[in-house]
């Protein structure tokens, strides 16, 4: 159980285009989804927290107009990188958790990640 | 915000030896401490976690100890095997929130030599 999928697994795009990444929880309802970015040989940096049916909460320094997040259902969240530039090239990983009322102690399950290369 | 420090950044051991990775955190309200293993190009996989109502948890060759007073917790791997080679990340939740936001440590590259 607790499987999270991500699509696409990799994408190459031209500078200025927009890219949409999907994150799905396959066998559980994800009340909260998280989006991370990971540069080579670095840690995971949280970009935003997404709750179903409400606006995402962005971390300091993350542009909400550039990284659009939609959590339309309990099994799907999307991240759209708008007007992508080469510096946006990175490994984007989502995670999902189910609120069981344990006050923020829920396990996060990660998707396989999406490698974005902007030319 | 939460500050998580992880040490060492790299760790090299011989097969069969033990490996210990330590993390310190700053927010005394934090109450959930998972450890993730990430192989090259793959997703982070949860290997063990501990909640603040216990001081130690063990799962076969892996154990985690927590010292809430000192605000540090450690991952212990015994009888290491080459397949344990990976990057290990500790994480700490944002205490007092209901959404479980995690802050990750910098990671430890563990290499187990046959």
CB contact under 8 A, B31 and A105: yes
User: Which one of A31, A60, A102, A103 would you mutate to disrupt binding with B, by most B Cβ within 10 Å of its Cβ?
Assistant: A103
More confident call, A52 vs B14: B14
Q: Which residues of A touch B49 (CB under 8 A)?
A: 107
* pLDDT tens sequence for chain A (119 residues): 689 999 999 999 999 999 999 999 998 888 899 999 999 989 999 999 998 888 899 999 999 999 999 988 889 999 999 999 999 999 999 999 887 666 667 889 999 999 999 99
Q: Measured at the alpha carbon of residue A18, what is the angle toward residues A14 and A21, in degrees to the nearest 5? A: 110
Residue B54 has pLDDT above 70, yes or no: yes
Distances, alpha carbon A10 to alpha carbons A7, A39, A42, A45, B79, in Å:
8, 14, 19, 19, 36
């Amino acid at each position: 159980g607790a499987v999270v999928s991500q699509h696409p697994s990799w994408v190459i795009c031209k500078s200025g285009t927009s890219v949409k990444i999907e994150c799905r929880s396959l066998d559980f309802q994800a009340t909260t989804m998280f989006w991370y970015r990971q540069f080579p040989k670095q840690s995971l940096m949280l970009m935003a927290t997404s709750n179903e049916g409400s606006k995402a909460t962005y971390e300091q320094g993350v542009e909400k107009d550039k990284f659009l997040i939609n959590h339309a259902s309990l099994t799907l969240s999307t991240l759209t990188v708008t007007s992508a530039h080469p510096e946006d090239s990175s490994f984007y990983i989502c995670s999902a958790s189910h609120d069981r009322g344990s006050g923020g102690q829920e396990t996060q399950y990660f998707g396989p990640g999406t490698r974005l290369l902007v030319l | 915000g939460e500050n998580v420090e992880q040490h060492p950044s790299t760790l090299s051991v011989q097969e069969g030896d033990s490996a210990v990775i330590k993390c310190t955190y700053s927010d005394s309200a934090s109450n959930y401490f998972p450890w993730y293993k990430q192989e090259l190009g793959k997703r982070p996989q949860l290997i063990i976690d501990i909640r603040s109502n216990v001081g130690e948890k063990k799962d076969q060759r892996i154990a985690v100890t927590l010292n809430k007073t000192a605000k540090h917790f450690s991952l212990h791997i015994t009888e290491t095997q080459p397949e344990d080679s990976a990057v290990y990340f500790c994480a700490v939740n944002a205490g007092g929130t209901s959404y479980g936001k995690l802050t990750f440590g910098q990671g430890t590259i563990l290499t187990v030599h046959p």
